[in-house]
Amino acid sequence: MKEISFNLNFEIRQVMVEPNEILLDVLRDKLGVKSPKCGCERGDCGACTVLLDGKPVRSCLILAIEADKHDIITVEGISQDKLSKLQEAFIQYNSFQCGYCAPGIILAVTELLENNPHPSLEEIKESIAGHLCRCTGYTPIFDAIMALSKGEQ
């Protein structure tokens, strides 16, 4: 076991981990953060996405020990006081049904909009490539992001 420390949603956290523990399991099982989901355990679905030093990563593919001394943001970290404008747009456009994919997509698009506040539809599609949504057909997701990027939300 090794103690690691990282900034999780703007709070320094320490946790004991085994060398082979993945970040997803540590976040969910040891720290109680439930928004990253275990979907495929291969990095294919995007349900386990977190922001690691501002970049979207699949937490099922990262050893927890690799997160030592880094910043991690989950969907709980982008909406501490109130919903973000992106989350509000997703609600307005009914962008999710079951919500399983929502945290990963929200984090990927949050990173996109921080770097490119007015993305094209193709840039939006690229930012969520690898995020599987089985309910919506993606159109309401794209509509919400486009509306927000145009200031319509």
Residue 9: what residue type?
N
pLDDT digits (tens, 9 = 90+) for 87-118: 999 999 999 989 899 999 999 999 999 999 99
Residue 153 pLDDT greater than 90, yes or no: no
Calculate helix-pair angle for 102-115, 85-92, nearest 10 degrees: 120
- Per-residue pLDDT at 144: 97
| Long-range pairs for 28-33: beta carbons < 8 A, 24 or more residues apart | 33/8, 33/9, 33/74, 33/76
- Mean pLDDT over the full length of the chain: 95
- Per-residue pLDDT at 80: 76
Q: Catalogue all structural domains in the chain, each as residue range(s) with its CATH number.
A: 2-76 (3.10.20.30), 85-149 (1.10.150.120)
pLDDT digits (tens, 9 = 90+) for 11-51: 999 999 999 999 999 999 999 999 999 988 899 999 999 99
